[in-house]
C-alpha cells in the first residue's frame, strides 16, 4: 500500500493539527460513512506513533502518515491518496487500485 499526501493536504494537517517533525498521523477504517470504494465505512485519522506493524507509510516534512496492518481489511487492494477539499476545508480521501 502506498500513501500519497498532496501539498495542500500537508499544509492542512500542519496548520489545523499543529503537526511538526516527529509527529505521526494514522489513517484507519471506521464504521459509518462512505468512501469511493466502501459503503458504510469512512476514513478516520488520529495523531499517534506507528508500531512495527505498518501497512504503508510516507514521511513529509518530518511527519509520518501511515496505516497499520490491523486496517488491512479496509485498505487491501488500494493505495491511499490524501488530498484537500477547499470548499469543505478538510482532507478528502481517494483510493487507487494497486492490483
Domain coordinates of the chain in residue numbers?
3-97
Contacts of residue 15, defined as CB under 8 A and 6 or more positions apart, other chains included, come to none
pTM of the predicted protein model: 0.92
CA–CA dist 20, 2 (Å, integer): 22
- Backbone angles phi and psi of 14, in degrees to 5: -65, -40
CA–CA dist 43, 75 (Å, integer): 10
pLDDT of 18-61, one tens digit each?
Answer: 999 999 999 999 888 777 777 778 899 999 999 888 999 999 99
Is the pLDDT score of 86 beyond 80?
yes
What's the pLDDT at 55?
Answer: 94
Is CATH 2.60.300.12 the right assignment for the domain spanning 3-97?
Answer: yes
Among 35-39, 67-71, 81-85, 95-99, the minimum mean pLDDT is found in 35-39
Q: How many CA atoms lie within 13 Å of 72's alpha carbon, on the beta-carbon side?
A: 5
Amino acid at each position: 500500500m502506498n500513501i500519497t499526501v498532496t501539498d495542500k493536504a500537508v499544509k492542512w494537517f500542519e496548520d489545523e493539527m499543529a503537526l511538526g517533525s516527529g509527529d505521526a498521523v494514522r489513517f484507519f477504517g471506521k464504521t459509518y460513512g462512505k468512501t469511493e470504494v466502501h459503503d458504510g465505512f469512512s476514513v478516520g485519522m488520529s495523531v499517534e506513533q506507528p508500531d512495527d506493524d505498518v501497512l504503508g507509510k510516507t514521511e513529509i516534512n518530518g511527519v509520518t502518515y501511515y496505516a497499520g496492518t490491523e486496517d488491512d481489511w479496509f485498505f487491501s487492494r488500494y493505495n491511499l491518496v490524501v488530498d484537500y477539499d477547499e470548499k469543505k476545508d478538510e482532507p478528502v480521501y481517494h483510493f487507487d487500485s494497486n492490483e
